[in-house]
């Protein structure tokens, strides 16, 4: 009875989302995996791989990049479609469709909270983009294959193993399989809300987060936006957010668009109708002005991003250094310097 009551209490959009994730898992992953089979594949690798074509190798030319693209051309098309939908509608792929992140989340939601580890308060943007830089440049340089740490193969192989397929059993008993399973359990099933792998280690999620933040800058796109004038700063949405993307800034909910997955959970729990998946308000004209106060007929939906807190004023100079931005800047500088140096070494040694 308790389980039925819990199911009934799930908001409609979330029930719908979980249903789509299950359908997607049945369509993409074994033993049915009928979508990959339409392209002659049995899993998400090969032509369907979305995780490798953009890796950087020293001395890489456009011809090499083109070769990578043509090997995984369906994955490249899928990746581009994901980016396009994210620009206009937010991260629909990650929250509603991806069977890999979705199954980890569903597994975690079925476990009792006392077994779970809380990762959402970690500096996820720094960890994610630090690892993304290493994944794009350093790992290929060191000859570490992108397949070594890949959740897009772990879950399909785990399902194969559970359904008794030899290939899946061999994978889960191998050292690579055991490491990946460990990551899946710790950062997936046993992580609070199940999305820690997505937030820290998935390269598709990292690229998608950048696109989400870019798209949210445009008022005509659908993203999670906050109506400042309605928000009470009650923090309920931040506690519900599976990605740890919401923080209170000056008692107003503020969404980190680099982390938000547009899952709608925050919208469902806000009693004040202060957060919404929407375009920015088009009605900029006040309905009327009373005693000098502009009264709007509808809230002004704004994409509020977490901004650095300015450091206290010292000797008349306002310090603007923020640790997060500093770390991001160092990571980006490191990656650019690394790419430039290795390319130059490769070019001059030819």
C-alpha distances (whole Å) from 32 to each of 25, 26, 27, 302 are 9, 6, 6, 43
Those residues whose C-beta lies under 8 Å from the C-beta of residue 31, and which sit 6 or more positions away, are 159, 160, 163, 165
Task: Report the SS3 class of residue 148.
Answer: coil
Cβ atoms of 108 and 191 within 8 Å: the answer is yes
Q: Which residues pair with 117 in a beta bridge?
A: 191
Structure tokens at 12: 């409609």
- Helices 73-89 and 62-71 cross at an angle (nearest 10°) of 90
Binding mask 289-328 for ligand SF4 (x = CB under 6 A): ----------------------------------------
**Nearer of residues 163 and 235 to ligand SF4, judged by Cβ:** 235
Cβ atoms of 242 and 263 within 8 Å: the answer is yes
The answer to the question of residue 153 lying near ligand SF4 (CB under 6 A) is yes
CB of 153 to ligand SF4, least distance (A): 4
**Nearer of residues 44 and 158 to ligand SF4, judged by Cβ:** 44
Binding mask 75-94 for ligand SF4 (x = CB under 6 A): -------------------x
Cβ atoms of 123 and 325 within 8 Å: the answer is no
Interaction residues for ligand SF4, span 34-63 (CB under 6 A): 44-45, 49, 51-52
Interaction residues for ligand SF4, span 233-292 (CB under 6 A): 233-237, 240-243, 245-246, 253, 255, 260-266, 270, 272, 274-275
CB of 123 to ligand SF4, least distance (A): 17
**Nearer of residues 16 and 347 to ligand SF4, judged by Cβ:** 16
State the CB neighbour count (10 A cutoff) for residue 209.
29
Interface positions with ligand SF4 (CB under 6 A): 44-45, 49, 51-52, 94, 98, 100-101, 146-147, 150-153, 198, 202, 204-205, 224, 226, 231-237, 240-243, 245-246, 253, 255, 260-266, 270, 272, 274-275
């Amino acid at each position: 009875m308790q389980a039925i009551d819990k199911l009934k209490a799930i908001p409609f959009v979330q029930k719908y989302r979980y249903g789509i994730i299950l359908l997607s898992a049945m369509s993409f992953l074994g033993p049915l995996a009928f979508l990959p089979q339409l392209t002659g594949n049995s899993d998400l690798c090969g032509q369907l791989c979305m995780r490798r074509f953009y890796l950087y190798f020293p001395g890489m030319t456009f011809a090499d990049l083109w070769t990578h693209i043509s090997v995984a051309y369906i994955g490249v098309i899928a990746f581009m479609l994901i980016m396009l939908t994210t620009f206009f509608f937010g991260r629909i792929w990650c929250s509603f469709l991806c069977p890999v992140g979705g199954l980890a989340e569903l597994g975690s939601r079925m476990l009792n909270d006392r077994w779970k580890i809380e990762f959402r308060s970690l500096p996820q943007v720094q960890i994610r983009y630090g690892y993304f830089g290493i994944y794009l440049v350093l790992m290929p340089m060191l000859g570490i294959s992108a397949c070594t740490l890949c959740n897009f193969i772990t879950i399909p192989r785990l399902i194969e193993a559970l359904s008794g397929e030899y290939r899946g059993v061999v994978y889960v008993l191998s050292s690579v399989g055991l490491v990946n399973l460990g990551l899946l359990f710790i950062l997936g099933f046993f992580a609070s809300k199940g999305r820690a792998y997505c937030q820290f280690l998935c390269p598709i999620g990292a690229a998608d987060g950048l696109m989400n933040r870019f798209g949210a800058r445009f008022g005509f796109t659908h993203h999670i936006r906050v109506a400042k004038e309605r928000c009470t700063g009650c923090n309920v949405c931040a506690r519900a957010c599976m990605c740890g993307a919401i923080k209170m800034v000056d008692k107003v909910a503020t969404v980190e668009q680099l982390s938000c997955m547009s899952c709608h959970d925050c919208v469902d729990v806000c009693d004040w109708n202060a957060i919404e998946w929407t375009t920015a308000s088009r009605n900029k004209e006040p309905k009327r002005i009373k005693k000098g106060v502009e009264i709007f007929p509808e809230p002004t939906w704004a994409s509020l991003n977490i901004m650095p807190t300015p450091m206290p004023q010292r000797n008349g100079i306002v310090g603007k250094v923020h640790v997060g931005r500093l770390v991001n800047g160092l990571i980006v500088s490191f990656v650019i310097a690394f790419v430039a140096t290795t390319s130059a070494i490769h070019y001059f040694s030819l």
